Structure 1
């Protein structure tokens, strides 16, 4: 690599016919150019330039070496141009992992529009609520909800806030009463989201605690938010769900939002990808489009009572 670094300097000096002019074109000192040529001559064991006080000209060996270097530099520049052209063009396969419900309802339609706009783009979409390993599983991009771990090899960008709400079916509220405070949850059945042994707490900001975690008593745990929504509509208990997700059920009267005076947390959703020296266009445009369109798409689904 040290040897290759001197090649463009040699080519510029040969074309300029002067170390001083080459230095000016390269924004180097004349001494730096002379040292680079000196290193090449020492390595090759021959003189590349005839030197006078005012001008440098190539020796026979120098002309021979210049012709070869010129071809090499041309190939390098052609390769750079090809790569740069590829960076500007949105093409290739993009593998994306996303949460199941948010992915199906909101993310996948946005990416599908992007695919229609760019014929060279291919999508490989995976719907899962688990945290995937981008390296081991070969994903280019994943969408994660909630607080992220500090992982130095990953880049992140927040693309969405999801405000949560507590809701229940009218039949359940008629039989068990309407909760109005956090303390009232102790008298109710909760419908909880759980993956394996880990149960998701319901989180509320309070004056006393920035994040108060509550786990209501329950007889039903599920690992699918849509199943949780169905259970709530069936009158099996209270559910804590994203506002956008319950909008239709609330509008149709199948669910009622409760505890309106109790503030509920808004989760962040992030785009996560591997840190690399250069971001490919297919990845950049997907993240930019999600950041631009996802809040509006989810916002259009948010019930006005949850919009604040």
Structure 2
């Protein structure tokens, strides 16, 4: 392919970019020169050529320091994204030549992790014998950075604890109101949330906190229902067992009761009513380069978790785009 006179070739287009990124990252031309093994004069000339080619000023220069202009900040962010894409491409190429190796330390909720996350990661480890898995099951929100986790699984709204982390949505979690056929035969079933007070309710209570049920009110708006009950348990699996035993109505994750619903041990109640959903995210430290083992783990969860949660083809798909 021919290029017109005055049009820079590929090498010229990238000339100075590395120097520019290092000057910004290290806070000045002198530090960039030392890091790259160049003279300060060479760094200054590289920046001048880059600015001339872009026809814009990237730095405010004083006798003591350099700071980015608005155009410089925009260009810097684009350069970082381009570098990240190149690193990801190199990692993907390397995956075709090398087995995935190294340790991956993952935190996840106890039941959800055991039923839904661990099977996917263990299958990944089976396919990659050099991958070391360290799986931690806990319902407390761990400090990913302080406790040295490579990956954490969170269900619910992400808050301030996600600062300094990258996030990717894995799936949308649904919950179902259910009961045993024997309970429904004996007590009937409610048609709306206003009728729940007349029924036996199985309540999830943990650390002195009672979880509210999130169901529509008479107007169809999803609201928090603070229900009371003589039966309060701090284990979701135990609540499911109590529901099967005919002890009352339970509001439980669909992934937990799916097999019980299929077998007929439980039946859905108020299935025509919309219910609140909950997002499930993967979180990991926001570093410039994502390791191949971490990338494969997150990709495996994105691809396989919705199908595991909703084998009926329901909408539990995750968002395949990463977010900060």
Under a length normalisation based on structure 1, what TM-score does the superposition of the two structures give? Answer: 0.70
- Alpha-carbon deviations, 1:59-110, whole Å to 9, x = none? xxxxxxxxxxxxxxxxxxxxxx9xx779866321111111222211221111
Q: Which residue of 212, 233, 237 corresponds with 1:226?
A: 237
Taking a change above 3 Å as real, the CA distance of residues 85 and 257 of structure 1, as seen in their structure-2 partners, is closer
Rounded Cα–Cα distance in structure 1 between residues aligned with 2:202 and 2:216: 20
Q: Do 2:202 and 2:250's aligned partners in 1 also have CA atoms closer than 8 Å?
A: yes
Q: Which residue of 117, 124, 131 corresponds with 1:114?
A: 124
Find the counterpart in structure 2 of residue 235 from structure 1.
Answer: 246
Rounded Cα–Cα distance in structure 1 between residues aligned with 2:108 and 2:31: 46
Find the counterpart in structure 2 of residue 292 from structure 1.
Answer: 303
Rounded Cα–Cα distance in structure 2 between residues aligned with 1:225 and 1:280: 35
Taking a change above 3 Å as real, the CA distance of residues 123 and 296 of structure 1, as seen in their structure-2 partners, is same
Rounded Cα–Cα distance in structure 1 between residues aligned with 2:313 and 2:230: 28
The alignment status of 1:93 with 2:121, answered yes or no, reads no
Rounded Cα–Cα distance in structure 2 between residues aligned with 1:120 and 1:198: 42
Rounded Cα–Cα distance in structure 2 between residues aligned with 1:187 and 1:166: 15
The alignment status of 1:136 with 2:146, answered yes or no, reads yes
Rounded Cα–Cα distance in structure 1 between residues aligned with 2:280 and 2:289: 24
The alignment status of 1:265 with 2:265, answered yes or no, reads no
- Alpha-carbon offset, residue 179 of structure 1: 0.9
Q: Do 1:167 and 1:256's aligned partners in 2 also have CA atoms closer than 8 Å?
A: yes
Rounded Cα–Cα distance in structure 2 between residues aligned with 1:228 and 1:268: 22
The alignment status of 1:175 with 2:186, answered yes or no, reads yes
Rounded Cα–Cα distance in structure 2 between residues aligned with 1:162 and 1:210: 19
- Alpha-carbon deviations, 1:197-231, whole Å to 9, x = none? 11211112457474301132212222221111111
Q: Which residue of 255, 262, 268 corresponds with 2:266?
A: 255
Q: Secondary structure at the match of 2:185?
A: helix
Find the counterpart in structure 1 of residue 177 from structure 2.
Answer: 166
- More helix per residue: 1
- Alpha-carbon offset, residue 29 of structure 1: 3.6
Query: Bigger radius of gyration, 1 or 2?
Result: 1
Find the counterpart in structure 2 of residue 47 from structure 1.
Answer: none
Rounded Cα–Cα distance in structure 2 between residues aligned with 1:199 and 1:225: 13
Under a length normalisation based on structure 2, what TM-score does the superposition of the two structures give? Answer: 0.66
Segments of 5+ residues of structure 1 without an aligned counterpart are: 14-18, 33-80
Find the counterpart in structure 1 of residue 201 from structure 2.
Answer: 190
Rounded Cα–Cα distance in structure 1 between residues aligned with 2:191 and 2:269: 7
Q: Which residue of 188, 201, 215 corresponds with 1:204?
A: 215
Q: Which residue of 153, 156, 159 corresponds with 1:146?
A: 156
Find the counterpart in structure 2 of residue 102 from structure 1.
Answer: 112
Rounded Cα–Cα distance in structure 2 between residues aligned with 1:269 and 1:28: 48
- Alpha-carbon offset, residue 232 of structure 1: 0.7
- Alpha-carbon offset, residue 285 of structure 1: 1.5
Number of aligned residues: 245
Find the counterpart in structure 2 of residue 5 from structure 1.
Answer: 33
Q: Do 2:144 and 2:150's aligned partners in 1 also have CA atoms closer than 8 Å?
A: yes
Rounded Cα–Cα distance in structure 2 between residues aligned with 1:135 and 1:190: 39
Q: Secondary structure at the match of 1:129?
A: coil
CA RMSD of aligned residues (A): 3.3
Segments of 5+ residues of structure 2 without an aligned counterpart are: 1-25, 53-86, 317-324
- Alpha-carbon offset, residue 8 of structure 1: 4.0
